Structure 1
Amino acid sequence: MTALQDLKYRQWFRGADDDGDGFITQHDVRRMSERYISARKTAPDGETVRRLIEGMDQFWSNVIAPMDQDGDGKVDVREMTEGFKGVLTDRAFYPHQIAPVTNCFFDLVDLNGDGRIDQAEFQQMFSSVAAVPGEDCAAVFAALDLDGSGGLSRDEFHQALEEFFYGNDPDAPANHIFGKVTA
């Protein structure tokens, strides 16, 4: 893992540690989706909520839980960064490791169902899920909107999350999707 990936994963960890106790548990992972669902102004349909919660449970079971080296049911930042070194090794695995959860979040965030996430929708998601400040959301959104359409397509959204979890480009705007990454 590169130093950049280490910084990005630590930033993700801070957003995922819902109760701030220095550990990620299954409850913390599930709370990421629950925080977003509760921040929405409209209730999502039951099928989308079910898919998101199942996706987050699978993300816990398949990606995060195996990182629990001491078997205590929680993952600290050391276990997580070491675990990501072993699990998130190849972009080819993105469709199985990250994409299902990304699709669920995309469907929930696209409030008006137009097939894209606008800046307001993007900010609502990342401020509620990972406590990213509004000005950071706006800057990242503008940089991720590759075609300048004013909205992120599903493809652009996937590209951003794939770059965040697997990429090493220090200039990639996706590095800051879960908050500004600093040394």
Structure 2
Amino acid sequence: MVSEFRRKKFQHVFTVFFDTNKSGNIDKKDFELAIANITKLRGWNAGDAKYNEVRDTLLKIWDGLQSRADSNKDGEVSFDEWVSICDEYAKNPTAAPEWLRIYSKFIFQLEDASNDGSIDSEEFSSVYASFGLNKNEAVTAFQKMSRGKSNVSWAEFQELWKEYFTSEDVNAPGNFIFGKTSF
């Protein structure tokens, strides 16, 4: 059974980052919209190498997510199916499905706009503001996530990622990895 606290965390990711068209379910259209939004944020146009990379990566994530989470095979991932797949990962994070490993790396690379191998507060908060979150709250989330440090490395990010999905501790630094300070 997934606790109410973890359900709220899973709801945040589901609603803000996956259900981009706000239909109540995740489907391929959400990923197509995310491709358009992310490439626009970065100034990449259809046909650009980076545009194609984002498109290919997000569609690979969709294919993996759908094949693992769409238990009733209706072409959509409901919130309950999402919670189930997140809880499956939380029970054994070392056996993360490929789509989730790709998604984690994608989010890190998206946040690392300078491509220097680490995320700083401005990079982090700018991405979350582009997803409609409050930029000041994202700055605060970064401070909590980074434990006051100026940067978060890929190795640190991976541990924070696992903590987000597994932790019941409301103060765990990983809880702030998606730009929100409370659930």
Does the pair score TM above 0.5? Answer: yes
Alignment-derived partner of residue 73 in structure 1: 75
Alignment-derived partner of residue 12 in structure 1: 13
User: Please, which runs of 5 or more residues in structure 2 have no aligned partner?
Assistant: none
Q: 2:146–2:152: 8 Å Cα contact kept in structure 1? A: yes
Report matched runs for 1:10-89 at 5 Å. Answer: 10-15=11-16, 16-40=18-42, 42-43=43-44, 46-89=48-91
Distance 1:48 1:103, change over 3 A: farther
Distance 1:151 1:33, change over 3 A: farther
Q: How many residues align?
A: 179
Alignment-derived partner of residue 139 in structure 1: 140
Distance 1:138 1:93, change over 3 A: same
Residue 128 of structure 1, aligned match among 124, 127, 130: 130
3-state SS, counterpart of residue 24 of structure 1: coil
Distance 1:33 1:143, change over 3 A: farther
- Mapped partners of 1:9, 1:125: distance in 2: 19
- Mapped partners of 1:33, 1:167: distance in 2: 30
Q: 2:21–2:33: 8 Å Cα contact kept in structure 1? A: no
Alignment-derived partner of residue 169 in structure 2: 169
Q: 1:145–1:151: 8 Å Cα contact kept in structure 2? A: yes
- Mapped partners of 1:128, 1:72: distance in 2: 30
Distance 1:14 1:108, change over 3 A: closer
Alignment-derived partner of residue 106 in structure 1: 108
Distance 1:147 1:48, change over 3 A: farther
Deviations 1:8-62 (A, max 9, x none): 111111112111111111221343354233112x549955544443332232222
TM-score, scaled relative to structure 2: 0.79
Query: Which letter does structure 2 place at the counterpart of 1:138?
Result: V
Alignment-derived partner of residue 152 in structure 1: 152
Q: Indicate the RMSD between aligned Cα atoms, in angstroms.
A: 2.7
Query: Which letter does structure 1 place at the counterpart of 2:55?
Result: I
Query: Which letter does structure 2 place at the counterpart of 1:13?
Result: F
Deviations 1:122-153 (A, max 9, x none): 11212224x221122011111222472x1221
Q: 2:89–2:95: 8 Å Cα contact kept in structure 1? A: no
